[in-house]
Structure 1
Protein backbone atom coordinates (compact mmCIF):
# COMPACT_ATOMS: atom_id res chain seq x y z
CA UNK A 1 0.00 0.00 0.00
CA UNK A 2 1.54 3.36 -0.99
CA UNK A 3 2.65 5.54 1.87
CA UNK A 4 0.50 8.60 2.56
CA UNK A 5 2.51 11.81 2.00
CA UNK A 6 2.87 14.32 4.78
CA UNK A 7 0.63 17.42 4.77
CA UNK A 8 3.57 19.58 3.69
CA UNK A 9 4.44 17.35 0.72
CA UNK A 10 0.77 17.06 -0.22
CA UNK A 11 0.39 20.83 -0.13
CA UNK A 12 3.41 21.40 -2.38
CA UNK A 13 2.13 18.79 -4.82
CA UNK A 14 -1.37 20.23 -4.80
CA UNK A 15 -0.19 23.78 -5.54
CA UNK A 16 2.72 23.55 -7.99
CA UNK A 17 4.37 26.69 -9.34
CA UNK A 18 6.40 27.45 -12.41
CA UNK A 19 9.18 30.01 -12.32
CA UNK A 20 9.38 32.57 -15.13
CA UNK A 21 12.23 35.06 -15.64
CA UNK A 22 10.31 37.88 -14.01
CA UNK A 23 7.58 36.23 -11.96
CA UNK A 24 6.35 33.04 -10.30
CA UNK A 25 3.03 31.69 -11.60
CA UNK A 26 0.73 29.11 -10.02
CA UNK A 27 0.08 26.10 -12.27
CA UNK A 28 -3.29 24.37 -12.54
CA UNK A 29 -3.59 21.80 -9.81
CA UNK A 30 -6.95 20.58 -8.61
CA UNK A 31 -6.08 17.25 -6.99
CA UNK A 32 -6.71 16.74 -3.29
CA UNK A 33 -4.32 14.38 -1.54
CA UNK A 34 -5.32 12.19 1.40
CA UNK A 35 -3.00 14.05 3.71
CA UNK A 36 -4.97 17.25 3.07
CA UNK A 37 -8.47 15.86 3.52
CA UNK A 38 -10.34 18.17 5.83
CA UNK A 39 -7.65 20.88 5.61
CA UNK A 40 -8.45 22.45 2.25
CA UNK A 41 -11.55 24.65 2.15
CA UNK A 42 -13.59 24.32 -1.02
CA UNK A 43 -14.55 27.96 -1.57
CA UNK A 44 -11.16 29.75 -1.58
CA UNK A 45 -10.53 30.67 -5.25
CA UNK A 46 -9.34 33.62 -7.30
CA UNK A 47 -11.93 35.14 -9.57
CA UNK A 48 -9.55 35.24 -12.56
CA UNK A 49 -5.96 34.15 -13.03
CA UNK A 50 -3.24 36.22 -14.69
CA UNK A 51 -3.78 34.58 -18.08
CA UNK A 52 -7.56 35.19 -18.10
CA UNK A 53 -8.57 31.63 -17.24
CA UNK A 54 -10.71 30.66 -14.26
CA UNK A 55 -8.88 31.13 -11.04
CA UNK A 56 -6.96 28.38 -9.25
CA UNK A 57 -7.55 27.41 -5.65
CA UNK A 58 -5.84 29.73 -3.24
CA UNK A 59 -3.35 28.18 -0.80
CA UNK A 60 -5.59 26.97 2.03
CA UNK A 61 -5.27 28.97 5.20
CA UNK A 62 -5.43 25.88 7.36
CA UNK A 63 -2.56 24.24 5.50
CA UNK A 64 -0.45 27.40 5.67
CA UNK A 65 -1.15 27.56 9.39
CA UNK A 66 -0.16 23.89 9.72
CA UNK A 67 3.07 24.47 7.78
CA UNK A 68 3.87 27.50 9.93
CA UNK A 69 3.41 25.44 13.07
CA UNK A 70 5.62 22.71 11.62
CA UNK A 71 8.26 25.30 10.70
CA UNK A 72 8.26 26.77 14.20
CA UNK A 73 8.45 23.29 15.72
CA UNK A 74 11.35 22.32 13.47
CA UNK A 75 13.17 25.55 14.30
CA UNK A 76 12.67 24.91 18.01
CA UNK A 77 14.12 21.42 17.63
CA UNK A 78 17.10 22.76 15.66
CA UNK A 79 17.78 25.45 18.25
CA UNK A 80 17.50 22.88 21.01
CA UNK A 81 20.01 20.60 19.26
CA UNK A 82 22.25 23.59 18.55
CA UNK A 83 22.27 24.62 22.20
CA UNK A 84 22.84 21.04 23.25
CA UNK A 85 25.87 20.72 20.94
CA UNK A 86 27.12 24.12 22.07
CA UNK A 87 26.95 23.13 25.72
CA UNK A 88 28.48 19.77 24.90
CA UNK A 89 31.44 21.41 23.17
CA UNK A 90 31.77 23.91 26.01
CA UNK A 91 31.91 21.11 28.57
CA UNK A 92 34.35 19.21 26.38
CA UNK A 93 36.70 22.20 26.22
CA UNK A 94 36.36 22.68 29.96
CA UNK A 95 37.22 19.04 30.56
CA UNK A 96 40.22 19.33 28.25
CA UNK A 97 41.55 22.24 30.24
CA UNK A 98 39.60 25.21 28.90
CA UNK A 99 42.70 26.63 27.25
CA UNK A 100 41.79 26.55 23.58
CA UNK A 101 39.54 29.61 23.78
CA UNK A 102 42.29 31.72 25.30
CA UNK A 103 44.74 30.66 22.61
CA UNK A 104 42.35 31.29 19.73
CA UNK A 105 41.56 34.74 21.13
CA UNK A 106 45.22 35.70 20.93
CA UNK A 107 46.08 34.45 17.45
CA UNK A 108 46.75 38.10 16.56
CA UNK A 109 48.27 39.83 19.61
CA UNK A 110 47.08 43.26 18.51
CA UNK A 111 47.74 45.01 21.83
CA UNK A 112 51.32 43.73 22.06
CA UNK A 113 52.08 44.57 18.43
CA UNK A 114 50.74 48.05 19.11
CA UNK A 115 53.10 48.36 22.06
CA UNK A 116 55.99 47.44 19.77
CA UNK A 117 55.07 50.30 17.46
CA UNK A 118 54.81 52.92 20.22
CA UNK A 119 58.14 54.62 19.66
CA UNK A 120 58.56 58.25 20.73
CA UNK A 121 59.52 60.69 18.02
CA UNK A 122 60.40 64.38 17.88
CA UNK A 123 56.92 65.31 16.73
CA UNK A 124 53.72 63.52 17.68
CA UNK A 125 52.61 63.92 14.07
CA UNK A 126 55.78 62.41 12.58
CA UNK A 127 55.91 58.63 12.34
CA UNK A 128 59.27 56.96 12.88
CA UNK A 129 60.70 55.59 9.66
CA UNK A 130 62.09 52.54 11.41
CA UNK A 131 61.59 51.17 14.88
CA UNK A 132 64.49 50.17 17.10
CA UNK A 133 63.59 46.48 16.94
CA UNK A 134 63.80 46.63 13.13
CA UNK A 135 67.46 47.69 13.23
CA UNK A 136 68.92 45.18 15.69
CA UNK A 137 72.59 44.49 15.13
CA UNK A 138 72.81 40.93 13.88
CA UNK A 139 75.48 39.67 11.50
CA UNK A 140 74.54 39.71 7.84
CA UNK A 141 74.44 36.39 5.99
CA UNK A 142 77.80 35.12 4.75
CA UNK A 143 78.97 35.65 1.18
CA UNK A 144 78.89 33.21 -1.75
CA UNK A 145 82.02 31.29 -0.75
CA UNK A 146 80.77 30.50 2.75
CA UNK A 147 77.31 29.79 1.39
CA UNK A 148 78.86 27.22 -0.97
CA UNK A 149 80.50 25.53 2.03
CA UNK A 150 77.18 25.48 3.86
CA UNK A 151 75.43 23.85 0.91
CA UNK A 152 78.16 21.20 0.92
CA UNK A 153 77.25 20.47 4.54
CA UNK A 154 73.56 20.26 3.62
CA UNK A 155 74.34 17.91 0.72
CA UNK A 156 76.23 15.60 3.11
CA UNK A 157 73.22 15.68 5.46
CA UNK A 158 70.96 14.83 2.53
CA UNK A 159 72.92 11.61 1.92
CA UNK A 160 72.25 10.36 5.45
CA UNK A 161 68.96 8.71 4.57
CA UNK A 162 68.52 6.90 7.89
CA UNK A 163 68.87 10.03 10.00
CA UNK A 164 66.65 11.99 7.63
CA UNK A 165 63.97 9.30 7.81
CA UNK A 166 64.19 9.30 11.62
CA UNK A 167 63.55 13.05 11.72
CA UNK A 168 60.89 13.10 9.00
CA UNK A 169 57.89 12.79 11.32
CA UNK A 170 59.10 15.69 13.49
CA UNK A 171 59.96 17.76 10.42
CA UNK A 172 56.46 17.41 9.02
CA UNK A 173 54.81 18.12 12.38
CA UNK A 174 56.97 21.20 12.98
CA UNK A 175 56.26 22.70 9.56
CA UNK A 176 53.63 24.72 11.41
CA UNK A 177 54.84 25.30 14.94
CA UNK A 178 52.32 24.32 17.59
CA UNK A 179 52.13 25.60 21.13
CA UNK A 180 51.97 22.00 22.31
CA UNK A 181 55.66 21.64 21.43
CA UNK A 182 56.35 23.86 24.46
CA UNK A 183 53.46 23.03 26.80
CA UNK A 184 54.26 19.32 26.63
CA UNK A 185 57.67 19.54 28.36
CA UNK A 186 56.07 21.82 30.95
CA UNK A 187 53.49 19.07 31.61
CA UNK A 188 50.58 21.50 31.15
CA UNK A 189 49.32 20.29 27.79
CA UNK A 190 45.49 20.07 27.95
CA UNK A 191 45.60 20.97 31.65
CA UNK A 192 43.25 23.59 33.07
CA UNK A 193 44.63 26.67 34.79
CA UNK A 194 47.44 27.53 32.34
CA UNK A 195 45.55 29.52 29.72
CA UNK A 196 47.82 32.58 30.14
CA UNK A 197 50.91 30.45 29.49
CA UNK A 198 49.51 28.96 26.32
CA UNK A 199 48.15 32.33 25.21
CA UNK A 200 51.55 34.02 25.64
CA UNK A 201 53.31 31.24 23.73
CA UNK A 202 50.85 31.56 20.85
CA UNK A 203 51.14 35.34 20.79
CA UNK A 204 54.94 35.18 20.76
CA UNK A 205 54.85 32.81 17.79
CA UNK A 206 52.61 35.24 15.90
CA UNK A 207 54.51 38.40 16.80
CA UNK A 208 57.92 36.89 16.02
CA UNK A 209 56.71 35.59 12.68
CA UNK A 210 55.78 39.17 11.80
CA UNK A 211 59.11 40.61 12.97
CA UNK A 212 61.12 37.81 11.36
CA UNK A 213 59.59 38.49 7.96
CA UNK A 214 60.85 42.09 8.19
CA UNK A 215 64.43 40.84 8.60
CA UNK A 216 64.00 38.24 5.88
CA UNK A 217 62.96 40.99 3.49
CA UNK A 218 65.92 43.08 4.60
CA UNK A 219 68.56 40.43 3.83
CA UNK A 220 66.71 38.59 1.03
CA UNK A 221 68.91 35.48 1.08
CA UNK A 222 68.22 32.67 -1.37
CA UNK A 223 66.96 29.38 -0.05
CA UNK A 224 69.55 26.55 -0.14
CA UNK A 225 67.73 24.66 -2.90
CA UNK A 226 67.67 27.83 -5.01
CA UNK A 227 71.41 28.23 -4.57
CA UNK A 228 72.21 24.51 -5.01
CA UNK A 229 69.81 22.64 -7.35
CA UNK A 230 71.10 19.24 -6.15
CA UNK A 231 69.39 19.78 -2.80
CA UNK A 232 66.03 18.04 -2.47
CA UNK A 233 64.01 19.57 0.42
CA UNK A 234 61.67 17.31 2.38
CA UNK A 235 58.99 20.02 2.49
CA UNK A 236 57.66 22.63 0.11
CA UNK A 237 60.05 25.58 0.01
CA UNK A 238 58.45 28.70 1.58
CA UNK A 239 58.12 31.70 -0.73
CA UNK A 240 60.04 34.09 1.53
CA UNK A 241 63.78 34.44 2.04
CA UNK A 242 65.93 32.13 4.18
CA UNK A 243 67.83 34.45 6.54
CA UNK A 244 67.20 34.44 9.45
CA UNK A 245 65.33 31.23 10.27
CA UNK A 246 61.90 32.20 11.56
CA UNK A 247 61.46 28.80 13.21
CA UNK A 248 64.65 29.36 15.20
CA UNK A 249 63.62 32.94 16.02
CA UNK A 250 60.14 31.97 17.21
CA UNK A 251 61.18 28.93 19.25
CA UNK A 252 64.13 30.61 20.95
CA UNK A 253 61.97 33.64 21.71
CA UNK A 254 59.59 31.38 23.65
CA UNK A 255 62.52 29.73 25.46
CA UNK A 256 64.07 33.10 26.38
CA UNK A 257 60.71 34.54 27.44
CA UNK A 258 59.93 31.63 29.77
CA UNK A 259 63.45 31.81 31.20
CA UNK A 260 62.78 35.48 31.94
CA UNK A 261 59.42 34.76 33.57
CA UNK A 262 60.48 31.71 35.59
CA UNK A 263 64.27 31.40 35.58
CA UNK A 264 64.07 28.91 38.44
CA UNK A 265 61.87 26.45 36.53
CA UNK A 266 63.75 23.23 35.62
CA UNK A 267 62.15 23.07 32.16
CA UNK A 268 63.87 26.23 30.87
CA UNK A 269 66.83 24.20 29.57
CA UNK A 270 64.42 21.73 27.97
CA UNK A 271 62.66 24.54 26.09
CA UNK A 272 66.01 25.74 24.72
CA UNK A 273 66.83 22.17 23.65
CA UNK A 274 63.47 21.89 21.84
CA UNK A 275 64.11 25.20 20.07
CA UNK A 276 67.51 23.97 18.89
CA UNK A 277 66.04 20.68 17.70
CA UNK A 278 63.25 22.40 15.74
CA UNK A 279 65.79 24.72 14.11
CA UNK A 280 68.13 21.86 13.20
CA UNK A 281 65.26 19.90 11.69
CA UNK A 282 64.76 22.76 9.25
CA UNK A 283 68.37 22.23 8.16
CA UNK A 284 67.83 18.49 7.78
CA UNK A 285 64.76 19.30 5.69
CA UNK A 286 66.98 21.31 3.32
CA UNK A 287 65.19 24.60 3.98
CA UNK A 288 67.82 26.53 5.95
CA UNK A 289 71.57 26.99 6.19
CA UNK A 290 73.26 26.57 9.58
CA UNK A 291 73.94 30.32 9.56
CA UNK A 292 70.17 30.94 9.24
CA UNK A 293 69.67 29.03 12.48
CA UNK A 294 72.39 30.98 14.26
CA UNK A 295 70.92 34.27 13.07
CA UNK A 296 67.44 33.26 14.29
CA UNK A 297 68.83 32.50 17.75
CA UNK A 298 70.78 35.77 17.86
CA UNK A 299 67.76 37.76 16.74
CA UNK A 300 65.68 36.14 19.50
CA UNK A 301 68.32 37.10 22.09
CA UNK A 302 68.44 40.72 20.95
CA UNK A 303 64.68 41.02 20.51
CA UNK A 304 63.95 39.60 23.98
CA UNK A 305 63.94 42.99 25.80
CA UNK A 306 61.44 44.46 23.32
CA UNK A 307 59.30 41.35 23.62
CA UNK A 308 59.37 41.67 27.40
CA UNK A 309 58.30 45.31 27.19
CA UNK A 310 55.42 44.55 24.80
CA UNK A 311 54.19 41.48 26.71
CA UNK A 312 54.91 42.72 30.23
CA UNK A 313 51.38 42.31 31.59
CA UNK A 314 51.00 38.91 29.97
CA UNK A 315 54.33 37.78 31.45
CA UNK A 316 53.05 38.71 34.91
CA UNK A 317 49.88 36.68 34.31
CA UNK A 318 51.99 33.65 33.35
CA UNK A 319 54.11 33.94 36.47
CA UNK A 320 50.96 34.19 38.58
CA UNK A 321 49.81 30.85 37.17
CA UNK A 322 52.98 29.14 38.34
CA UNK A 323 53.37 30.73 41.78
Structure 2
Protein backbone atom coordinates (compact mmCIF):
# COMPACT_ATOMS: atom_id res chain seq x y z
CA UNK A 1 0.00 0.00 0.00
CA UNK A 2 1.22 3.49 -0.76
CA UNK A 3 2.54 5.39 2.22
CA UNK A 4 0.92 8.39 3.84
CA UNK A 5 4.17 10.27 3.32
CA UNK A 6 3.98 10.26 -0.46
CA UNK A 7 0.32 11.21 -0.26
CA UNK A 8 1.21 14.22 1.85
CA UNK A 9 4.07 15.23 -0.41
CA UNK A 10 2.33 14.98 -3.73
CA UNK A 11 -0.77 16.66 -2.40
CA UNK A 12 1.43 19.60 -1.42
CA UNK A 13 2.74 19.75 -4.98
CA UNK A 14 -0.73 20.25 -6.44
CA UNK A 15 -3.44 22.56 -5.09
CA UNK A 16 -6.77 20.85 -5.71
CA UNK A 17 -9.50 23.07 -7.08
CA UNK A 18 -12.63 23.30 -4.96
CA UNK A 19 -15.59 21.19 -5.99
CA UNK A 20 -18.12 23.18 -7.95
CA UNK A 21 -21.64 23.43 -6.64
CA UNK A 22 -24.05 20.76 -7.73
CA UNK A 23 -25.82 23.10 -10.11
CA UNK A 24 -22.70 23.24 -12.25
CA UNK A 25 -22.35 19.46 -12.23
CA UNK A 26 -25.74 18.64 -13.74
CA UNK A 27 -25.86 16.29 -16.66
CA UNK A 28 -26.83 18.95 -19.16
CA UNK A 29 -23.20 20.09 -19.48
CA UNK A 30 -23.59 21.05 -23.12
CA UNK A 31 -25.22 24.27 -21.93
CA UNK A 32 -22.09 25.24 -20.01
CA UNK A 33 -19.65 25.64 -22.85
CA UNK A 34 -16.65 27.78 -22.18
CA UNK A 35 -14.65 28.06 -25.32
CA UNK A 36 -12.07 30.39 -23.83
CA UNK A 37 -10.76 28.03 -21.16
CA UNK A 38 -6.98 27.98 -20.92
CA UNK A 39 -5.47 24.55 -21.46
CA UNK A 40 -2.75 23.51 -19.01
CA UNK A 41 0.61 22.49 -20.31
CA UNK A 42 3.78 21.42 -18.61
CA UNK A 43 5.58 24.56 -19.81
CA UNK A 44 3.67 26.80 -17.44
CA UNK A 45 0.16 27.59 -18.70
CA UNK A 46 -2.16 26.91 -15.79
CA UNK A 47 -5.62 25.57 -15.15
CA UNK A 48 -5.40 27.12 -11.72
CA UNK A 49 -4.31 23.76 -10.30
CA UNK A 50 -0.57 24.34 -10.12
CA UNK A 51 2.59 24.74 -12.09
CA UNK A 52 5.38 22.22 -11.99
CA UNK A 53 7.43 22.65 -8.83
CA UNK A 54 11.17 22.17 -9.44
CA UNK A 55 12.13 18.69 -8.34
CA UNK A 56 14.70 19.87 -5.79
CA UNK A 57 12.17 21.99 -3.91
CA UNK A 58 9.53 19.27 -4.08
CA UNK A 59 11.94 16.61 -2.88
CA UNK A 60 12.96 18.85 0.00
CA UNK A 61 9.36 18.93 1.21
CA UNK A 62 9.51 15.30 2.29
CA UNK A 63 12.98 15.15 3.74
CA UNK A 64 11.53 15.72 7.19
CA UNK A 65 12.64 13.44 10.05
CA UNK A 66 10.15 10.94 11.47
CA UNK A 67 9.98 9.61 15.01
CA UNK A 68 8.43 6.42 13.67
CA UNK A 69 11.25 4.27 12.26
CA UNK A 70 8.84 2.09 10.25
CA UNK A 71 7.23 5.13 8.62
CA UNK A 72 10.65 6.58 7.87
CA UNK A 73 11.80 3.33 6.26
CA UNK A 74 8.72 3.18 4.03
CA UNK A 75 8.71 6.85 3.12
CA UNK A 76 10.55 6.42 -0.14
CA UNK A 77 9.23 3.03 -1.31
CA UNK A 78 7.72 4.77 -4.34
CA UNK A 79 11.29 5.74 -5.34
CA UNK A 80 12.35 2.09 -5.34
CA UNK A 81 9.70 0.37 -7.43
CA UNK A 82 10.70 -2.78 -9.25
CA UNK A 83 11.47 -1.29 -12.65
CA UNK A 84 13.56 -3.34 -15.07
CA UNK A 85 16.84 -1.48 -15.74
CA UNK A 86 17.61 -0.33 -19.29
CA UNK A 87 19.13 -2.88 -21.66
CA UNK A 88 22.86 -3.12 -22.21
CA UNK A 89 24.88 -1.73 -25.14
CA UNK A 90 24.25 -4.62 -27.52
CA UNK A 91 20.47 -4.32 -27.31
CA UNK A 92 20.73 -0.53 -27.32
CA UNK A 93 22.62 -0.78 -30.60
CA UNK A 94 19.74 -2.81 -32.04
CA UNK A 95 17.30 -0.16 -30.85
CA UNK A 96 19.27 2.62 -32.50
CA UNK A 97 19.18 0.60 -35.72
CA UNK A 98 15.39 0.64 -35.47
CA UNK A 99 15.42 4.39 -34.83
CA UNK A 100 17.68 4.95 -37.83
CA UNK A 101 15.25 3.01 -40.02
CA UNK A 102 12.42 5.20 -38.70
CA UNK A 103 14.50 8.27 -39.47
CA UNK A 104 14.75 7.22 -43.13
CA UNK A 105 10.95 7.11 -43.43
CA UNK A 106 10.68 10.77 -44.33
CA UNK A 107 7.00 10.74 -45.30
CA UNK A 108 5.89 9.21 -41.99
CA UNK A 109 8.13 11.54 -40.01
CA UNK A 110 6.69 14.58 -41.78
CA UNK A 111 3.17 13.30 -41.13
CA UNK A 112 3.87 12.97 -37.43
CA UNK A 113 5.84 16.19 -37.04
CA UNK A 114 2.92 18.53 -36.14
CA UNK A 115 1.80 16.20 -33.35
CA UNK A 116 5.38 15.73 -32.19
CA UNK A 117 5.77 19.49 -31.86
CA UNK A 118 2.47 19.94 -30.03
CA UNK A 119 3.20 17.06 -27.67
CA UNK A 120 6.63 18.37 -26.72
CA UNK A 121 4.81 19.97 -23.78
CA UNK A 122 2.04 17.64 -22.70
CA UNK A 123 -1.39 19.20 -22.33
CA UNK A 124 -4.47 17.85 -20.65
CA UNK A 125 -6.22 18.73 -23.91
CA UNK A 126 -4.71 15.57 -25.44
CA UNK A 127 -7.07 13.64 -23.17
CA UNK A 128 -10.05 15.94 -22.73
CA UNK A 129 -10.59 15.87 -26.50
CA UNK A 130 -10.95 12.10 -26.37
CA UNK A 131 -13.52 12.47 -23.59
CA UNK A 132 -15.40 15.16 -25.57
CA UNK A 133 -15.17 17.63 -22.68
CA UNK A 134 -12.55 19.97 -24.11
CA UNK A 135 -14.92 22.92 -24.44
CA UNK A 136 -17.42 22.02 -21.73
CA UNK A 137 -17.85 23.41 -18.25
CA UNK A 138 -18.51 21.15 -15.28
CA UNK A 139 -15.47 18.90 -15.69
CA UNK A 140 -12.94 20.99 -13.80
CA UNK A 141 -12.12 18.15 -11.40
CA UNK A 142 -11.27 15.83 -14.30
CA UNK A 143 -8.96 18.40 -15.85
CA UNK A 144 -7.50 19.14 -12.42
CA UNK A 145 -6.69 15.48 -11.82
CA UNK A 146 -5.04 15.14 -15.23
CA UNK A 147 -2.87 18.17 -14.52
CA UNK A 148 -2.06 16.87 -11.04
CA UNK A 149 -0.88 13.59 -12.56
CA UNK A 150 1.26 15.36 -15.14
CA UNK A 151 2.88 17.40 -12.38
CA UNK A 152 3.50 14.56 -9.95
CA UNK A 153 4.76 12.14 -12.60
CA UNK A 154 7.11 14.72 -14.10
CA UNK A 155 8.84 14.89 -10.73
CA UNK A 156 8.82 11.16 -10.02
CA UNK A 157 10.00 10.31 -13.52
CA UNK A 158 13.04 12.55 -13.15
CA UNK A 159 14.04 10.60 -10.04
CA UNK A 160 14.02 7.32 -11.99
CA UNK A 161 15.84 8.88 -14.93
CA UNK A 162 18.60 9.97 -12.56
CA UNK A 163 18.81 6.48 -11.09
CA UNK A 164 19.27 4.75 -14.46
CA UNK A 165 21.28 7.53 -16.16
CA UNK A 166 20.77 6.24 -19.70
CA UNK A 167 22.20 8.19 -22.63
CA UNK A 168 19.80 9.65 -25.16
CA UNK A 169 19.69 7.83 -28.52
CA UNK A 170 21.60 10.54 -30.39
CA UNK A 171 24.33 10.43 -27.73
CA UNK A 172 24.72 6.71 -28.37
CA UNK A 173 24.32 6.97 -32.18
CA UNK A 174 25.51 10.30 -33.64
CA UNK A 175 23.83 9.55 -36.99
CA UNK A 176 20.44 10.11 -35.40
CA UNK A 177 18.96 13.55 -36.09
CA UNK A 178 16.24 14.34 -33.53
CA UNK A 179 13.32 16.45 -34.70
CA UNK A 180 13.26 18.47 -31.46
CA UNK A 181 15.83 19.83 -29.06
CA UNK A 182 17.06 16.95 -26.90
CA UNK A 183 16.09 17.38 -23.23
CA UNK A 184 18.96 17.72 -20.79
CA UNK A 185 17.78 14.90 -18.53
CA UNK A 186 18.33 11.19 -19.04
CA UNK A 187 16.43 8.93 -21.43
CA UNK A 188 15.07 6.02 -19.34
CA UNK A 189 12.19 5.79 -18.64
CA UNK A 190 10.26 8.04 -21.01
CA UNK A 191 8.45 10.66 -18.95
CA UNK A 192 5.95 11.26 -21.75
CA UNK A 193 5.06 7.58 -21.63
CA UNK A 194 4.93 7.56 -17.83
CA UNK A 195 2.75 10.66 -17.57
CA UNK A 196 0.30 9.75 -20.33
CA UNK A 197 -0.20 6.15 -19.24
CA UNK A 198 -0.64 7.34 -15.66
CA UNK A 199 -3.59 9.45 -16.82
CA UNK A 200 -5.04 6.54 -18.79
CA UNK A 201 -4.69 4.12 -15.86
CA UNK A 202 -6.15 6.63 -13.39
CA UNK A 203 -9.25 7.29 -15.51
CA UNK A 204 -9.69 3.56 -16.04
CA UNK A 205 -9.59 3.08 -12.26
CA UNK A 206 -12.21 5.76 -11.70
CA UNK A 207 -14.56 4.79 -14.56
CA UNK A 208 -13.58 1.32 -15.79
CA UNK A 209 -16.74 0.97 -17.89
CA UNK A 210 -16.33 4.28 -19.71
CA UNK A 211 -16.00 3.65 -23.48
CA UNK A 212 -13.11 6.14 -23.78
CA UNK A 213 -10.73 4.25 -21.48
CA UNK A 214 -9.22 2.30 -24.37
CA UNK A 215 -8.91 5.50 -26.38
CA UNK A 216 -6.94 7.19 -23.59
CA UNK A 217 -4.51 4.26 -23.58
CA UNK A 218 -4.20 4.51 -27.36
CA UNK A 219 -3.43 8.23 -27.08
CA UNK A 220 -0.79 7.53 -24.44
CA UNK A 221 0.87 4.94 -26.68
CA UNK A 222 0.80 7.26 -29.69
CA UNK A 223 2.32 10.17 -27.76
CA UNK A 224 5.07 7.90 -26.46
CA UNK A 225 5.78 6.44 -29.91
CA UNK A 226 5.98 9.93 -31.38
CA UNK A 227 8.93 10.53 -29.08
CA UNK A 228 10.63 7.57 -30.75
CA UNK A 229 9.84 8.95 -34.21
CA UNK A 230 11.34 12.24 -33.03
CA UNK A 231 14.58 10.41 -32.18
CA UNK A 232 14.35 11.28 -28.49
CA UNK A 233 13.60 7.86 -26.96
CA UNK A 234 14.30 4.18 -27.48
CA UNK A 235 11.33 1.77 -27.63
CA UNK A 236 12.48 0.34 -24.31
CA UNK A 237 12.15 3.83 -22.78
CA UNK A 238 8.50 3.82 -23.85
CA UNK A 239 7.86 0.40 -22.33
CA UNK A 240 9.60 1.38 -19.10
CA UNK A 241 7.41 4.47 -18.82
CA UNK A 242 4.30 2.33 -19.15
CA UNK A 243 5.59 -0.17 -16.59
CA UNK A 244 6.41 2.62 -14.14
CA UNK A 245 2.91 4.09 -14.62
CA UNK A 246 1.33 0.75 -13.75
CA UNK A 247 3.47 0.29 -10.64
CA UNK A 248 3.06 3.89 -9.50
CA UNK A 249 -0.72 3.92 -10.00
CA UNK A 250 -1.59 2.85 -6.41
CA UNK A 251 0.54 5.69 -5.05
CA UNK A 252 -1.25 8.20 -7.23
CA UNK A 253 -4.58 6.86 -6.05
CA UNK A 254 -3.45 7.18 -2.43
CA UNK A 255 -2.04 10.67 -2.94
CA UNK A 256 -5.03 12.08 -4.82
CA UNK A 257 -7.84 9.97 -3.42
CA UNK A 258 -10.26 12.87 -2.79
CA UNK A 259 -9.67 14.17 -6.31
CA UNK A 260 -10.27 10.70 -7.76
CA UNK A 261 -13.63 10.71 -5.95
CA UNK A 262 -14.46 14.21 -7.16
CA UNK A 263 -13.83 13.12 -10.77
CA UNK A 264 -16.09 10.12 -10.25
CA UNK A 265 -18.82 12.41 -8.94
CA UNK A 266 -18.55 14.62 -12.04
CA UNK A 267 -19.34 11.72 -14.32
CA UNK A 268 -21.79 9.57 -12.36
Query: TM-score, length-normalised on structure 1?
Result: 0.65
Alignment of 1:84-233 (within 5 A): 96=34, 100=38, 104-108=47-51, 123=68, 128=73, 131-233=76-178
Residue number in structure 1 paired with 2:180: 235
Q: What is the CA–CA distance in structure 1 between the aligned matches of 2:267 and 2:120, rounded to whole Å?
A: 30
Q: Distance in 1 between matches of 2:36 and 2:117?
A: 27
Which aligned pairs between 1:242-281 and structure 2 lie closer than 5 A? 242-281=187-226
2:47 aligns to what SS in structure 1? helix
Secondary structure at the counterpart of residue 300 of structure 1: helix
**Structure 1: segments with no counterpart, 5+ residues:** 1-93
Structure 2, unmatched stretches of 5+, are 1-31, 41-45
Distance (Å, rounded) in 1 between the aligned partners of 2:159 and 2:84:
15
Compute the RMSD of aligned alpha carbons: 2.8
Relative to structure 1, is the Cα distance of residues 217 and 190 closer, same or farther in structure 2, using a 3 angstrom cutoff?
same
Q: Secondary structure at the match of 1:230?
A: coil
Rounded Cα–Cα distance in structure 2 between residues aligned with 1:101 and 1:119 = 34
Structure ranking higher on relative contact order (CA contacts 8 Å, 6+ apart): 2
Cα distance in 2 between the residues matched to 1:220 and 1:278: 22
Q: Following the alignment from structure 1 to structure 2, what is the Cα–Cα distance between the partners of residues 100 and 162?
A: 33
In structure 2, the CA distance between the partners of 1:136 and 1:119, relative to structure 1 (3 Å rule), is farther
Looking at structure 2, the residues matched to 95 and 256 of structure 1 have their Cα atoms a distance apart, in angstroms, of: 27
Is 1:288 the equivalent of 2:226? no
For residues 101 and 285 of structure 1, what CA distance do their matches in structure 2 show?
Answer: 24
Does the 8 A contact of 1:141 with 1:291 survive in 2?
A: yes
The structural deviation recorded for 1:211 is: 0.2
Segment of structure 1 superposing worse, 95-104 or 162-171: 95-104
Q: Which residue of 1 aligns with 2:26?
A: none
Asked whether the equivalents of residues 99 and 195 of structure 1 are also in contact (C-alpha less than 8 Å), the reply is no
| Equivalent residue number for residue 20 of structure 2 | none
Counterpart-to-counterpart distance in 2, 1:256 and 1:117? 26
When Rg is computed on C-alpha atoms for both structures, the one with the higher figure is 1
Provide the C-alpha distance between the structure 1 equivalents of 2:201 and 2:77, rounded to a whole number of angstroms: 19
1:305 lines up with 2:250 in the alignment? yes
- Mapped partners of 1:297, 1:156: distance in 2: 24
Once residues 93 and 100 of structure 2 are traced to their aligned partners in structure 1, the CA distance between those partners, rounded to angstroms, is: 10
SS in 2 for 1:270: helix
TM-score normalized by structure 2? 0.78
Secondary structure at the residue paired with 1:251? helix
Contact 1:215 1:243 in 2 (8 A): yes
Using the TM superposition, give the Cα deviation of residue 280 of structure 1 relative to its aligned residue in structure 2, in angstroms: 0.2
Change (3 A) 1:97 1:121: farther
Residue by residue over 1:260-304, the C-alpha shift from the partner in whole angstroms, topping out at 9 and shown as x without a partner, is 000010000000000000000000000000000000000000000
